[in-house]
Amino acid sequence: MRHAPATPPLAGNKKWAYMKSIDKLKRLTGEDVAPKKEDPAQTAPSSSERQSQLDNLRHRIENVLARAQTRSHTAASEAQIRGNQGLCEIISGEEIENEHGRFFLASDVVRGGSSHGHHNIREAFDFDMTAAAMLANNPIIGSYTSSDALFLDTETTGLAGGTGTMAFLIGLGWFEEGHFQVRQILARDFGEEKAALTYLKEIAAHKNFLVTFNGKAFDVNLLTTRFIMNRMHSDLAALPHLDLLHPSRRILGHRLENCRLVTLESDILGVQREGDIPGWEIPQRYFDWLKRRDPRLLAEIFEHNRLDVISMATLTAHLVEILTAQAMAQYTHTDDYLAAARLLLKRANEQGVQKILDIFLEKTCSDFSLQSKKKLAQLYKRTGKVNEAAHLWQQMAACEPVEFYAISELAKWLEHHERDYPQAKALIENALAGSNTFSDDEKESLSHRLKRLNAKLKTSR
Amino acid sequence: MAKLTLEEWITRLKKNKSFNASAAAIVEIPAKQGDWEDYPAWVNPQLLSVLQKRGMEKLYKHQAQAVRFIRNGQDVVLVTPTASGKTLCYNLPVLQSILDEPETRALYLFPTKALAQDQMHEAHSLITDLAADIKTFTYDGDTPDDARQAIRRQGHIVITNPDMLHAGILPHHTKWQKLFMNLKYIVIDELHIYRGIFGSHFANVIRRLVRICRFYGANPVFVCCSATVANPREHAEKILEREVALLDKSGAPTAAKTFVLYNPPIVNRELGIRQSAMTPARKIASDLIDNNIQTIVFATSRLNVEVLTKYLKDKFVKTKPKDDHFVTGYRGGYLPILRREIESGLRTRDVMGVISTNALELGIDIGNLEACIMAGYPGSIASTWQQAGRAGRRTGRSLAILIARSNPLDQFIMENPDYFFALSPEHCRINPDNLLILLHHIKSAAFELPFEKGEKFGGENLEEFLEYLEEKGVLHRTDDRWHWAAESYPADEVSLRAINPENVVVVDTTDAGNHKVIAEVDWNSAFTAVHDEAIYMLASEQYHVDKLDLERKKAYVHKVDADYYTDAMTYTNVQVIDSFENHREGGAIVEHGEVQVVRKVVGYKKIKFYTSENLGYGDVNLPEKDMHTTSYWFTIPRDHLRKLDFTPAEIIDGLSALAYTLQHLSAMYLMADTHDIDRSLGDKSGEWFVSQGKTGRVITSFNAGKPEMTDNKTGSRIDEFDPTIFVFDSYPGGIGFSELLYHEHANLLLAAKSLIEKCPCAYGCPSCVGPTLEVGKTAKEIVPKIIELILKGQP
């Protein structure tokens, strides 16, 4: 590569030639001071003399460095041991060993009776599998039970994706005898990844489908990459998968500022996190842990991940409740039902839609009911199901004081679709005479219609 | 008027006196017979019949040879002219292999998206005829997201570019598991494009690619194709870091060709100014097209393409008013669909004249044109032959005319036609171990796969780099592996093609309510092109730079109509850090090695259009730029220079002029852009250097790192130092040009001497020693004497 000078060097600073390439690099990147000029008064020794001096010096430096390195290596491994011990003290869990090495496993059981936001775990447990299958748009899920679900959420060394991002913490959860089991697999270092992934595989082998939040685009993709990088085979990506992000956006997105899990928690599930670590801080925390081995750096990440996993369980229950028309009214919005009905219509589930409709029948004339009916009716009308819409209009027209929307839509339907002019006439006359909320314009519009109906009635006679 | 055939047209041309007066050479290149061989016995019968139906009854000898080598798993580099059927050399073994073993995968790399598209169409049409279930796709920035997954899994032949491989494929290699596990062939076409900085990056991308292949247990065969260069095999081996068989004897027949070197007449002898190359290009092209001779014109810039296109369109609009494509431009900025239209128009002869940048130089299929005009030397002999090869592919006669501009390179060719027609002297040079480039790719490679102790990557000590990156907190070492431990995506931090990925955008504020980005200037040029108060020129519009905001990387400009342009004054100070090799030759000490270069823009001159009058000066306050790089230099002891019968000021002017000539000739020897190389005149310690000041050349002393730019009239200090001319790589860390220049020292100087002596100008001109205004009136006289002194030690 670099040629040694063939003739004795004429001039110049010879230090450069003997520099390690990394020092040259540092100079190139400006990390090193600018080259100093040699003192001209100092006579340079001949090159062979200097060479042997330098060799000698280098040898000595290398010896010193080697000693320092052993020392620092011992120091590093001591810190590692201390860090691992500390971890066991502040997080309830243990070190696990398998054929590929060790890792740390945190375990927690959320008892059935304990609550997470508006829900308690036992309520969340027995969700309707047909509805869950509908949410995932994968009918296979309908044939499993809620205990077959594996809730999964990872914490990673970055969001950039690609092969250089690792999932260092894999949070898992599942229902078991009315309680919710949480396991968190931590690779305490890059070297523990294979053992950690092996454990994940073992647990996944006993479960039939995955539940994640944005896992299709992120977590499962990333884990698939990690399996390949560790030369392992994995069926994770082939498991049926309910990714809650998409149905959440569909059903609840209309009233949320964004569709992040924390937002859903605070606005929908009633979960308030205190002192939660912001997601963007997580990768650096882990890098700091790798250097300093202070377990306190990880404690908040464990808690953050644990809450994510539990929230996924209650979020699933909540979405299923909306879809099956069983949600607690005080935490549900009319539009949620409307969005759910729309989803069900899309999946051609008439029964489901009817069930949602039935909720509104119970409290026939509440604002909540009227608004829902209005929106559903509009939806029906748009999708060409005019008779279903008319059914709703009739219900609405029975509520006093009557609203213009229901009366005018119903009148139109009677006039143009049913061609039942007398009944249309009677409807408008009764509405105008009775208790109503009509504005002057609306009254005029109805009177106009009435006139036309009268004319039609005359000619048909 | 009856139309002439090309044959008749050439005969008429040869009789034209004024043309002959300007023709530096007219060379007849005879036709060559083809050399054929039978297809190998293993070729699938269906594939054989498809190829034979397309008129390829037999293989050319070189094709047969290549196909045999590739089939046997030998890495090869093919160097044969345009239209010699290189594509088939790899398509045949690749398709055969997929037919044999349907899981087989191949990766094709092309330097541009347009070439990748072209290849995809070619392979696709073969496959369609073959009626086989073979899928071929391009994969680049334009590939829609929803198509990507299918391509990764199902594409048998994936055609992409190095940039996409670098930033899109390798960092996501797990998604390409299927491809990498079954990868048997990697084709690298247009290998000669990967030289200099781009080539140095590219070699590292290949290192990463090979590393990923190894991870998946694949050991693909590399097939490289290149235009004629001096060192194809060495170049391929440097890029692939393995032995490669060279196949460079073409068996394809070639048509007879008339090759003309045309030097436009001098219009101003004083200043040595020649007629613009555009004028004869326009005249000759319109006459050829008028005679129904299909013609391609290569211009050296996008602007020139537009100007020539407008001239020629205006001329033919009378005869062909409705046919908008009869004469057309072609360049990178055109939309793909328009380009496809033009390409097919050329094949069907609906387009009779096309004016192009070098975009059409590479292997895009445009059929057989008859005449090629190059308005300006394309910068390398390889490019010249590639462009000339666009006319006349297999039979009949063709014509190529190279029209010179007034720069040293073009003029050197005109003065030395023999040199030009002799074998290509150009070398492709790369330095994959440039420390900065290497560092970027070690980061990217670590992101792709952890490094293991004992692993090799590049020619430097890998472990030092890994430890360095560990120290920086980018890598984390666990046992004997280094893992990527940062949130960033390293491949995005470096662009393979630009010297510095940071660009300055030029924002036009003429319309206060509607600021527009009109251009991008690379970081290095920004200091001289868009400093405060500069006049920035774009598409012949002038813009005044109101503010260069280095922090935000923006230059704010507004449109003006000024009668002057600005020329930045910079000083360049070079200090030797280490000499790798040196020897005394004649009257000079010649060396190459590592140097530190400090550059600063200190001011600018306002120069009036047409008269070149100096209208005034301004100061510029920009930070200094400091870089370590490699250089070739030689020092002439001051005692020797005293022997010359000139004043010290004249000697300094002469040395500056010599440096100018050497920089330009070096670019030619190195097949590099003149911007990749820079020059400086000073002394080795960096204490003195010469620069262009307000009132002429000044010598500046550079003491304790602080320049004192006193406007000392030249020469008073000539006795204080031994002048040294540096020609160095303009890239931090160097690209490895300097060693080659060191060995070419004597040839370079002889070439410079011959160029200057043969130049017909009176006192020096941009074609030889540089503009008289800058180098003084005696430069042309003194430079040959200085060269004598350097080479022989005697004046």
Higher pLDDT, B568 or B556: B556
Can you tell me the mean pLDDT for A282-307? 94
Using alpha carbons, select from B413, B400, B343, B340 the residue that is nearest to residue B370: B400
Say how many Å lie between the first and final Cα of chain B, rounded. Answer: 61
CA-to-CA dists, residue A345 to A134, A342, A379, angstroms: 11, 5, 10
pLDDT of amino acid B706: 45
List of chain A residues whose C-beta atoms are within 8 Å of the C-beta of residue B624: none
List of chain B residues whose C-beta atoms are within 8 Å of the C-beta of residue A29: 436
B430 within 8 A of B239, measured Cβ to Cβ: yes
**Residue A229 confidence (pLDDT) above 90:** yes
List of chain A residues whose C-beta atoms are within 8 Å of the C-beta of residue B583: 6-7
Residues near A311 by beta carbon (within 8 Å), at least 6 away in sequence:
A116, A117, A261, A264, A265, A269, A271
CA-to-CA dists, residue B216 to A227, B137, B182, B446, angstroms: 13, 22, 9, 16
CB contact under 8 A, B172 and A22: no
Substitution target from A3, A22, A58 for chain B, most B beta carbons within 10 A: A22
Say which range, A127-131, B355-359, B776-780, has the weakest mean pLDDT.
Answer: B776-780
User: What single-letter DSSP state applies at residue A13?
Assistant: -
The separation between CA A159 and the C-alpha centre of its own chain, rounded to angstroms, equals: 13
What pTM, to 2 d.p., does this model score?
Answer: 0.76
At residue A194, the 3 state secondary structure works out as helix
CB contact under 8 A, B578 and A14: yes
Looking at the fold, whether B555 and B449 belong to one and the same domain comes out as no
CB contact under 8 A, B581 and A189: no
CA dihedral B169, B170, B174, B175 (to 10 degrees): 0
pLDDT per residue as tens digits for the range A27-43: 666 665 444 444 444 44
B45 C-beta neighbours (distance < 10 Å), count: 7
Of B218, B247, B276, which closes a domain?
Answer: B247
Say which range, A214-223, A304-313, B743-752, has the weakest mean pLDDT.
Answer: B743-752
List of chain A residues whose C-beta atoms are within 8 Å of the C-beta of residue B736: none
pLDDT per residue as tens digits for the range B26-43: 999 888 888 999 999 999
List of chain B residues whose C-beta atoms are within 8 Å of the C-beta of residue A6: 581-583
CB contact under 8 A, B594 and A16: yes
CB contact under 8 A, B435 and A37: no
- pLDDT averaged over chain A? 83
> Quick one: pLDDT band at residue A70, thresholds 50, 70, 90?
low
Chain B residue whose CA is closest to A28: B628
Amino acid residing at B529: A
Alpha helices by DSSP H, listed for B131-257, are 145-154, 162-164, 177-181, 196-215, 232-240
Partner residue facing B582 (CB), from A2, A10, A29: A10
pLDDT of amino acid A7: 38
CB contact under 8 A, B576 and A25: no
pLDDT of amino acid A33: 43
Alpha helices by DSSP H, listed for B58-144, are 61-71, 86-100, 113-130
**Residue A308 confidence (pLDDT) above 50:** yes
**Residue B715 confidence (pLDDT) above 60:** no
**Tokens 């790399």 map to which residue?**
B109
Looking at the fold, whether B553 and B461 belong to one and the same domain comes out as no
Bond from prior residue into A401 cis (ω within 30 degrees of 0): yes
Say which range, B137-146, B186-195, B322-331, B605-614, has the weakest mean pLDDT.
Answer: B605-614
CB contact under 8 A, A10 and B577: no
CB contact under 8 A, B626 and A30: yes
Can you tell me the mean pLDDT for B254-282? 82
CA dihedral B595, B601, B603, B608 (to 10 degrees): 90
Q: What CATH code is carried by the domain that includes residue B150?
A: 3.40.50.300
- pLDDT averaged over chain B? 83
Query: Domain for residue B623, yes or no?
Result: yes
pLDDT of amino acid B681: 85
Looking at the fold, whether B454 and B394 belong to one and the same domain comes out as no
Higher pLDDT, B255 or A240: A240
Task: Report the domain count for chain B.
Answer: 5
Nearest chain B CA: its distance from A186 CA (Å): 16
Looking at the fold, whether B198 and B271 belong to one and the same domain comes out as no
Query: Domain for residue B428, yes or no?
Result: no
Chain B residue whose CA is closest to A191: B478
pLDDT of amino acid A419: 87
Partner residue facing B460 (CB), from A6, A21, A163: A21
Looking at the fold, whether B541 and B634 belong to one and the same domain comes out as no
List of chain B residues whose C-beta atoms are within 8 Å of the C-beta of residue A14: 578
Using alpha carbons, select from B237, B385, B417 the residue that is nearest to residue B298: B385
CB contact under 8 A, A27 and B433: no
Structural domain span for residue B168: 36-247
Looking at the fold, whether B777 and B630 belong to one and the same domain comes out as yes
Higher pLDDT, B153 or B503: B153
Nearest chain A CA: its distance from B438 CA (Å): 10
CB contact under 8 A, A27 and B628: yes
Looking at the fold, whether B664 and B624 belong to one and the same domain comes out as yes
Nearest chain B CA: its distance from A287 CA (Å): 7
- B596 vs A: CB within 8 A: yes
List of chain B residues whose C-beta atoms are within 8 Å of the C-beta of residue A224: 174
Using alpha carbons, select from B253, B251, B254 the residue that is nearest to residue B62: B251
Domains of chain A as residue ranges with CATH: 84-323 (3.30.420.10), 329-460 (1.25.40.10)
CA–CA dist A332, A373 (Å, integer): 15
CA–CA dist B65, B68 (Å, integer): 5
List of chain A residues whose C-beta atoms are within 8 Å of the C-beta of residue B580: 2-3, 5, 17
Rounded to a whole number, what is the largest CA-CA distance in chain A?
A: 129
Looking at the fold, whether B408 and B314 belong to one and the same domain comes out as yes
Query: Domain for residue B498, yes or no?
Result: no
CA–CA dist B402, B389 (Å, integer): 12
Q: Which 232-251 residues of chain A touch chain B by CB within 8 A?
A: none
Nearest chain A CA: its distance from B444 CA (Å): 9
Higher pLDDT, B434 or A460: B434
Query: Domain for residue B267, yes or no?
Result: yes
CB contact under 8 A, B577 and A7: no
Of B542, B562, B582, which closes a domain?
Answer: B562
List of chain A residues whose C-beta atoms are within 8 Å of the C-beta of residue B628: 24, 27-28
CA–CA dist B764, B534 (Å, integer): 28
B270 within 8 A of B308, measured Cβ to Cβ: no
- B33 vs A: CB within 8 A: no
- A40 vs B: CB within 8 A: no
For residue B121, with 0-12 CB atoms within 10 Å meaning exposed, 13-18 middle and 19 or more buried, which class applies? Answer: middle
Q: Which pair of tokens denotes residue B613?
A: 């009058």
pLDDT per residue as tens digits for the range B755-778: 888 777 766 766 777 766 566 677
CB contact under 8 A, A1 and B433: yes
CA–CA dist A106, A87 (Å, integer): 10
Looking at the fold, whether B668 and B726 belong to one and the same domain comes out as yes
pLDDT of amino acid B272: 62
Looking at the fold, whether B77 and B226 belong to one and the same domain comes out as yes
CA–CA dist A252, A267 (Å, integer): 10
CB contact under 8 A, A28 and B576: no
pLDDT of amino acid B711: 45
- Mean pLDDT comparison of A323-337, A379-393, B204-218, B533-547, highest-scoring range: B204-218
**Residue B459 confidence (pLDDT) above 50:** yes
pLDDT of amino acid A98: 94
For residue B270, with 0-12 CB atoms within 10 Å meaning exposed, 13-18 middle and 19 or more buried, which class applies? Answer: exposed
Say which range, A400-409, A420-429, B66-75, B528-537, has the weakest mean pLDDT.
Answer: B528-537
The separation between CA B346 and the C-alpha centre of its own chain, rounded to angstroms, equals: 26
B346 within 8 A of B365, measured Cβ to Cβ: no
List of chain B residues whose C-beta atoms are within 8 Å of the C-beta of residue A166: 483
Query: Domain for residue B324, yes or no?
Result: yes
pLDDT of amino acid A37: 40
Q: Which pair of tokens denotes residue B673?
A: 């852009």
Can you tell me the mean pLDDT for B466-474? 90
Sheet holding B256-262, edge to edge: B23-29, B256-262, B397-403, B371-375, B295-299, B353-356, B327-330
CA–CA dist B36, B393 (Å, integer): 17
Residues near A26 by beta carbon (within 8 Å), at least 6 away in sequence:
A32, B468
Amino acid residing at B704: A
Chain B residue whose CA is closest to A16: B578
pLDDT per residue as tens digits for the range A361-399: 655 677 767 777 787 788 788 878 888 888 888 888 888
pLDDT of amino acid A49: 59
Buried-exposed string A278-293: b where 16+ CB fall within 10 A, e elsewhere? ebeebbebbbebbeeb
B302 within 8 A of B357, measured Cβ to Cβ: yes
Looking at the fold, whether B724 and B617 belong to one and the same domain comes out as yes
B38 C-beta neighbours (distance < 10 Å), count: 10
Say which range, B127-131, B251-255, B741-745, has the weakest mean pLDDT.
Answer: B251-255
The separation between CA A233 and the C-alpha centre of its own chain, rounded to angstroms, equals: 25
Question: How many CB contacts within 8 angstroms connect chain A with chain B?
Answer: 137
pLDDT of amino acid A189: 94
> Quick one: pLDDT band at residue B324, thresholds 50, 70, 90?
low
Query: Domain for residue B1, yes or no?
Result: no
CA-to-CA dists, residue A45 to A9, A10, B580, angstroms: 12, 13, 18
Partner residue facing A163 (CB), from B173, B468, B733: B173
Say which range, A307-316, B336-345, B520-529, has the weakest mean pLDDT.
Answer: B520-529
Can you tell me the mean pLDDT for B388-414? 81
Alpha helices by DSSP H, listed for B562-644, are 638-642
Nearest chain A CA: its distance from B485 CA (Å): 7
List of chain A residues whose C-beta atoms are within 8 Å of the C-beta of residue B705: 34
B540 C-beta neighbours (distance < 10 Å), count: 8
Query: Domain for residue B88, yes or no?
Result: yes
Q: What backbone torsions phi and psi does residue B273 show, to the nearest 5 degrees?
A: -95, 130
pLDDT of amino acid A30: 62
Q: Which 277-316 residues of chain A touch chain B by CB within 8 A?
A: 283-284, 287, 290-291
Of B247, B275, B299, which closes a domain?
Answer: B247
pLDDT per residue as tens digits for the range B473-511: 899 998 889 999 998 888 887 777 754 556 778 888 887
Q: Which pair of tokens denotes residue B629?
A: 């790089």
pLDDT of amino acid A157: 94
CB contact under 8 A, A162 and B478: no
B420 C-beta neighbours (distance < 10 Å), count: 21
CB contact under 8 A, A27 and B464: no
Using alpha carbons, select from B75, B557, B55, B3 the residue that is nearest to residue B289: B3
CA dihedral B94, B98, B100, B104 (to 10 degrees): 100
Using alpha carbons, select from A370, A173, A139, A346 the residue that is nearest to residue A242: A139
Q: Interface pTM (ipTM) of the complex?
A: 0.75
Q: Helix A282-292 and helix A47-90: axis angle, to 10°?
A: 110
Using alpha carbons, select from A104, A148, A110 the residue that is nearest to residue A129: A148
- B405 vs A: CB within 8 A: no
> Quick one: pLDDT band at residue A418, thresholds 50, 70, 90?
confident
> Quick one: pLDDT band at residue A69, thresholds 50, 70, 90?
low
B606 within 8 A of B560, measured Cβ to Cβ: no
Nearest chain A CA: its distance from B292 CA (Å): 55
CA–CA dist B194, B201 (Å, integer): 8
pLDDT per residue as tens digits for the range B573-594: 888 888 888 888 888 889 998 8
> Quick one: pLDDT band at residue B47, thresholds 50, 70, 90?
very high
Higher pLDDT, B177 or B360: B177
Looking at the fold, whether B552 and B574 belong to one and the same domain comes out as no
**Residue B598 confidence (pLDDT) above 80:** yes
Alpha helices by DSSP H, listed for A190-238, are 193-205, 219-229
Substitution target from B577, B632, B685 for chain A, most A beta carbons within 10 A: B577
CB contact under 8 A, B581 and A5: yes
Query: Domain for residue B427, yes or no?
Result: no
CB contact under 8 A, B579 and A34: no
Chain A residue whose CA is closest to B583: A7
**Tokens 């008339």 map to which residue?**
B258
Using alpha carbons, select from B42, B40, B37 the residue that is nearest to residue B58: B37
> Quick one: pLDDT band at residue A9, thresholds 50, 70, 90?
very low
CB contact under 8 A, A35 and B479: no
> Quick one: pLDDT band at residue A62, thresholds 50, 70, 90?
low
Q: What backbone torsions phi and psi does residue B212 show, to the nearest 5 degrees?
A: -70, -40
Q: Which 432-491 residues of chain B touch chain A by CB within 8 A?
A: 433, 435-436, 439, 446-450, 459-461, 464-465, 467-468, 473, 476, 478-479, 481, 483-490
Q: Which conformational region is residue B608 in: left (phi greater than 0), alpha (psi within -120 to 50 degrees), or beta? A: beta
